[in-house]
Amino acid sequence: MSRWDTAERQALRQLARDLTAKEIAPHVAGWEREGQLPRSLHKTFANAGVLSVAFPEEVGGGGGDSIDAAIVAEEILLGGGSGGVVASLFTHGIAVPHIVQSGSRDLVDRYVRPTLAGDLIGALAVTEPGGGSDVAGLRTRAVRDGDAYVVTGAKTYITSGVRADFVTTAVRTGDDGYGGISLLVIDKGLPGFTVSPPLDKMGWRASDTAELSFDEVRVPAANLVGDEGAGFVLIMKQFQSERLAMATQAWATAQRCLDLVIPWLKDRETFGRPLSSRQVVRHKVAEMARQVWVAKTATRAAYEAWLDTGDAVTEVSMAKNTACAVCDHVVDEAVQLFGGLGYMRESEVERHYRDSRILRIGGGTDEIMNEVIAKRLGV
């Protein structure tokens, strides 16, 4: 039996499907309009143990692994959720793993446990207005002053930044380059810490995104995650799970579009015949399905390589680029096949078309992925 299909994972899949059908799908359109998720959704998913599924039990998690987390994301998207819902509901998936990995027990108790319990919302802040992919070049500075760090700088494109109660923030505590980067957990509301109104995005509209500004914000030194200078390695390590999550979102979104398109093609008649009777349409759908299968297979293989070897940077990077390219192609074809209706806000494929575009940018762009792969190949 595939490790994606054990009895327990079938039950988890069903749970995620039920939660999606009842707690997400009926509300997505409203959340997309409002631009954010209600906090109660975090609590509902926490109570079912789904929010924390892949985190260790010692920190309040479910004790599963990243395949369990992927199964939840797959089902939310296959069941009619949106990329924005997944990105926003599971932002803690990028916000707290560093704390789990190397933070103090105190930080785990204050931030990780309440977040996994659905009581707090966290965000991760790495990208800056002056540069996105260049993590080693970030400029937000944290200067030690007694028992605090004084933080000055700015972050942008921060997922869940508007709602976040705390932000795991990449700051420069040392010299230029990657060795001078640390992670600090910064509480919302500290003097000098301001959050912009929500940024107006093309897609992922149910997910709030913010710019953050730090003007001499005093952050307790106890909020340092791990050691000074350890930030870059922590960030890079966690990027692997973020990239896998993006790949999952990509193939599952594409599969959802395929699931929406097929009944439509059978139903929709042009010139007296269903669209599905036209060879050009049939071949288009066959090609979409083939690509989705490739994306799904590559993504799942990358998960397995990552879990089995602990180092699957090449596979993860390749899976992300494969799945995201497939998603872009499939959402575009889905809109085309829906025709005029596909261009209307009322059709779900229209939303997927907009949501897909971020996947080739977030968590490391196509180009960064290719740089990583080339480096790994020794080119």
Among 19, 37, 87, 275, binds another protein (CB under 8 A): 19
325 binds another protein (CB under 8 A): no
Residue (of 363, 375, 293) closest to 132 by Cα position: 363
Compare residues 64 and 364 and give the one whose CB is closer to another protein: 64
Based on CB atoms, which residue is closest to another protein, 266 or 282? Answer: 266
Sole window of 62-70, 259-267, 344-352, 359-367 interacting with another protein (rule: CB under 8 A): 62-70
Binding of residue 370 to another protein (CB under 8 A): no
With CB under 8 A as the contact rule, the residue among 28, 35, 59, 62 that binds another protein is 62
Asked if residues 255 and 292 have their Cβ atoms less than 8 Å apart, the reply is yes
The size of the interface with another protein (CB under 8 A), counted in residues, is 19
Of 43-51, 245-253, 296-304, 322-330, the window that binds another protein (rule: CB under 8 A) is: 43-51
Q: 1 vs 4, 63, 206, 252, 256, CA distance in Å?
A: 8, 21, 36, 21, 25
> DSSP string of 17-36?
HHHIIIIIGGGHHHHHHHTS
| Concatenated DSSP letters of 241-261 | HHHHHHHHHHHHHHHHHHHHH
Burial of 310 (0-12, 13-18, 19+ CB in 10 A): exposed
Residue 149 — φ and ψ, nearest 5°?
-105, 140
Residues 210-239, one symbol each (x = binds another protein by CB under 8 A, - = not), give: ------------------------------
Which of 50, 124, 170, 219 binds another protein (CB under 8 A)? It is 50
Q: Amino acid identity, residue 118?
A: G
DSSP conformation class of 198 = P
Tokens 């149910």 identify what position?
206
CB of 257 to another protein, least distance (A): 22
Catalytic machinery residues: 242
Which amino acid is located at 94 in the chain? I
Residue for token pair 């039990």: 57
Residue 132 within binding range of another protein, rule CB under 8 A: no
- Smallest distance from another protein to CB 15, Å: 5
Q: Which of 28, 37, 41, 48 binds another protein (CB under 8 A)?
A: 48
Strand stretches in 1-147, DSSP E = 122-125, 141-145
**Which CB, 8 or 147, lies closer to another protein?**
8
Is there binding between residue 49 and another protein (CB under 8 A)?
Answer: yes
Would you count residue 8 as binding another protein (CB under 8 A)? Answer: yes
> Cα separation of 125 and 186, whole Å?
10
**Kind plus residue range of the DSSP H or E element containing 67:** helix 66-78
Residue 92 CB, shortest distance to another protein, in Å, is 15
With contact defined as beta carbons under 8 Å apart, do 330 and 288 qualify?
yes
Among 63, 130, 197, 263, binds another protein (CB under 8 A): 63
Contact 95, 368 (CB under 8 A): no
For the chain, what's the residue count? 379
Candidates 41-49, 91-99, 122-130, 249-257; binding stretch for another protein (CB under 8 A): 41-49
Binding span for another protein by CB under 8 A among 30-38, 50-58, 296-304, 360-368: 50-58
Give the binding range for another protein (CB under 8 A) out of 57-65, 158-166, 267-275, 306-314: 57-65
Interface contacts to another protein, rule CB under 8 A:
7-8, 10-12, 14-15, 18-19, 47-50, 52-53, 62-64, 68
